[in-house]
Structure 1
Amino acid sequence: MKNSLSADIYLRFLQLAESIRGLPALPLLDPLEERLLEQIANAGTRQQRLCVRDLMAQREMGSPATIHSRLKSMRQKGWILLADTEDARRKQIELSPDAHKHFEKLSQCIVEAAAER
């Protein structure tokens, strides 16, 4: 059975995306960290402020302690930055410049996969 054109593009994208995962830019993330990164990136795209407390309130992601430890790990790995807000007790989460570069590489993979149809 032959894949549809859109399935072929998506599968090619997955292959290309996997090839950039091995590049030495940033350490790998575990699955929960990847989900958190996606939420952080989506909030940034929507121009929404996302604070540590906001993520810790999302029970489907795990306990507050689990989320906090993953955010700490992501920060140490260089994926995210914590910025001050008007309330010193709240920290806003932002993608690091290296994380922005990673998403740029992924978008290039999408463009390349679509061009190779």
Structure 2
Amino acid sequence: MATNKPLSYLRFLNLIDALGRMNPGKKLDGIEENLLDKIVNCAHTKESILVGDLIALSELGSQATLHGRLKNLSAMGYIKMVANADGRKKEVVPTKLALKRYEEISKCLEKAIKAA
């Protein structure tokens, strides 16, 4: 007997794909998505995260790769880097554009669940 759970997930994937096609210039690769997930999650839990913390995530790639991806996220308008209290380290924070992206993803998830 089949359940609707796999269908809900497939609906969610289709909605996310449609969302990506609506914003073709802002396509993120897997590493960028993982970094942005981490940054937004830290902002949501009111934890600060520094550039150094992010480029130390060796499971996502080399330091050079991660630094490049952070530069890409900044250039696309998803994050900004601000000096912390002592000015020597940079804290990474999501922009309104990034938060809007997660709101849209949440709406896709809600639609997929309601359709089940």
- Is the structural similarity TM-score above 0.5? yes
Q: Which residue of 1 aligns with 2:92?
A: 93
Q: Which residue of 1 aligns with 2:56?
A: 57
Where structure 2 has 5 or more consecutive residues not aligned to the other structure, the ranges are none
Q: Which residue of 1 aligns with 2:31?
A: 32
- The amino acid of 2:61's aligned partner reads G
Q: Please give the alpha-carbon distance, in whole angstroms, between the structure 1 residues aligned to 2:53 and 2:44.
A: 16
More deviation in 26-35 or 9-18? 26-35
Distance 1:50 1:68, change over 3 A: same
Q: Which residue of 2 aligns with 1:104?
A: 103
Distance 1:26 1:81, change over 3 A: farther
Deviation at 1:110, TM superposition (A): 1.0
On the 8 A contact 1:25/1:98 being kept in 2, the answer is no
* TM-score normalised according to structure 1 size: 0.89
Deviation at 1:26, TM superposition (A): 5.7
Where structure 1 has 5 or more consecutive residues not aligned to the other structure, the ranges are none
Aligned residues, how many? 116
On the 8 A contact 1:13/1:110 being kept in 2, the answer is yes
Deviation at 1:89, TM superposition (A): 1.7
On the 8 A contact 1:79/1:98 being kept in 2, the answer is yes
Q: CA RMSD for the aligned pairs?
A: 1.6
Distance 1:87 1:26, change over 3 A: farther
On the 8 A contact 1:79/1:96 being kept in 2, the answer is yes
* TM-score normalised according to structure 2 size: 0.90
Deviation at 1:114, TM superposition (A): 1.2
More deviation in 36-45 or 46-55? 36-45
- Aligned identity (percent) is 34
On the 8 A contact 1:26/1:79 being kept in 2, the answer is no
More deviation in 61-70 or 100-109? 61-70
